[in-house]
C-alpha cells in the first residue's frame, strides 16, 4: 500500500523504533525490499536518488513500476516511495510523477535559501498529499558524486527548518554516506540530543546507515531517530553474492546465465540484509 511517510514516522517516533529507508536501483531491489517488508509486517520506505531515477529512465518509470509491483504482489504494509536527496527541480518532478514522499536537500545552500526553498516545497508536497524531508548540515561522504566533509548540524538551524512543517528532518551528526573510513569518530550523540531537544516530536533521519555499529544505531533511535537510510550495505551484499555465483562457475552450468538465475543470489542477499535491518530498527510487526 503506497502511502506518505507521515503516519509511519509519527508512530515510529512515539514507539521508539525506526523505519528503514532502503534505496532501490532496479526491479530486483524493489521486489526484494517489498517482499521482506511484507513478510516482516514492517512499514518501509523505498528511497530513489536522482541518479537511480535517471538510471531507471526517469521518476515516472520508477513510480509506475513501484505502484504496479505493490499491487501485483498484494503488499499490505505501508510503503512510501521517497525521493532521496532531491534537488529543487527533482522534488517538483517527483510530485508530478506519483511519488508519495520527497526529500529536498537544501543543505548546501545558505540557511536563508534552504528555508525559502523548503517552505515552498512543503506547501507543494502537502497540497498533493506527500510527506517531505528536509536536511540541515551536509551528510559527509559520496552520494551520487556529491562529496562533503562530515558535519554536525546547528541545532538552532534544525529547529528553524523543522518549524517549516516538514514531516521528517535529516541532520548531520557525524554520519557519512558509503563505507566508513577506519578513523571515523562515530556519531555525535551530543549533537543528536541537542537537536532532539530543540525539535521535539519531529522524526529525525539518520543517513549513511550502512556500517554504523548496531549499538550506535540503537542509541540513535533512543535519541529520536525514526528513519534510518541504508543503501551501500545492500549494494555490497548484492555484489558479493553475485561474485560468488560467477566465481563458482554457476553461470556456465545449464542455463545459469539466465538473468533470472544470475541475479537470484544477489536478490536473496538483499532480502536477508533488509530483514536484519528491520529487526535492528525494531519496525517488525509495526505495520
Q: Which residue ranges make up the site for ligand 13P (CB under 6 A)?
A: 23, 47, 84-85, 177-178, 207-210, 229-233
Does the annotation count 156 as an active-site position?
A: no
Within 10 angstroms of residue 197's Cβ, the number of other Cβ atoms is 12
| Residue whose C-alpha is closest to residue 66's, from 45, 87, 36 | 45
Which residue, 78 or 140, is less far from ligand 13P as judged by CB? Answer: 140
CA dihedral over 32, 37, 38, 43, signed as positive or negative: negative
Q: List the beta bridge partners of residue 134.
A: 104, 169
Which residue, 31 or 277, is less far from ligand 13P as judged by CB? Answer: 277
Phi-psi category of 189—alpha, beta or left, where left has phi over 0 and alpha has psi -120 to 50? alpha
Which residue, 141 or 245, is less far from ligand 13P as judged by CB? Answer: 141
Active-site annotation holder among 70, 84, 105, 154 = 84
CB of 8 to ligand 13P, least distance (A): 17
CB of 165 to ligand 13P, least distance (A): 22
Residues 6+ apart with CB under 8 A from 243: none
Residues 131 and 80: beta-carbon distance below 8 Å = yes
CB of 132 to ligand 13P, least distance (A): 15
Which residue, 51 or 178, is less far from ligand 13P as judged by CB? Answer: 178
d(CA 120, CA 138): 20
- Taking the chain, what is the end-to-end CA distance rounded to the nearest angstrom? 11
**3-class DSSP state of 174:** coil
CB of 62 to ligand 13P, least distance (A): 15
Cβ-in-10-Å burial (0-12, 13-18, 19+) of 105 comes to buried
Which residue, 133 or 157, is less far from ligand 13P as judged by CB? Answer: 133
CB of 215 to ligand 13P, least distance (A): 17
User: Which residues are the active-site residues?
Assistant: 84
Amino acid at each position: 500500500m503506497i502511502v506518505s511517510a507521515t503516519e509511519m514516522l509519527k508512530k515510529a517516533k512515539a514507539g521508539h523504533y525506526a523505519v528503514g529507508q532502503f534505496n532501490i536501483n532496479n526491479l530486483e531491489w524493489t521486489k526484494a525490499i517489498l517482499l521482506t517488508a511484507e513478510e516482516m509486517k514492517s512499514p518501509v520506505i523505498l528511497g530513489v536518488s536522482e541518479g537511480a531515477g535517471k538510471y531507471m529512465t526517469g521518476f515516472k518509470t520508477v513510480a509506475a513500476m513501484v505502484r504496479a509491483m505493490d499491487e501485483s504482489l498484494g503488499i499490505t504494509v505501508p510503503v512510501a516511495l521517497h525521493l532521496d536527496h532531491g534537488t529543487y527541480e527533482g522534488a517538483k518532478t517527483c510530485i508530478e510523477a506519483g511519488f508519495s514522499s520527497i526529500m529536498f536537500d537544501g543543505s548546501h545552500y545558505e540557511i536563508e535559501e534552504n528555508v525559502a526553498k523548503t517552505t515552498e516545497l512543503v506547501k507543494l508536497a502537502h497540497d498533493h498529499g506527500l510527506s517531505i524531508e528536509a536536511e540541515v548540515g551536509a551528510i559527509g561522504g559520496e552520494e551520487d558524486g556529491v562529496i562533503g566533509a562530515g558535519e554536525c548540524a546547528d541545532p538552532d538551524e534544525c529547529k528553524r527548518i523543522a518549524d517549516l512543517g516538514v514531516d521528517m528532518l535529516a541532520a548531520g551528526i557525524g554520519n557519512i554516506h558509503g563505507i566508513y573510513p577506519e578513523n571515523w569518530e562515530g556519531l555525535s550523540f551530543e549533537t543528536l540530543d541537542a537537536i532532539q531537544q530543540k525539535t521535539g516530536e519531529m522524526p529525525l533521519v539518520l543517513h549513511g546507515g550502512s556500517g554504523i555499529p548496531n549499538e550506535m544505531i540503537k542509541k540513535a533511535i533512543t535519541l529520536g531517530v525514526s528513519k534510518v537510510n541504508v543503501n551501500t550495505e545492500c549494494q555490497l551484499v548484492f555484489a558479493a553474492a553475485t561474485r560468488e555465483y560467477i566465481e563458482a562457475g554457476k553461470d556456465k552450468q545449464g542455463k545459469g546465465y539466465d538473468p533470472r538465475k544470475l541475479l537470484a543470489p544477489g536478490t536473496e542477499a538483499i532480502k536477508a540484509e533488509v530483514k536484519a535491518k528491520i529487526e535492528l530498527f525494531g519496525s517488525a510487526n509495526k505495520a
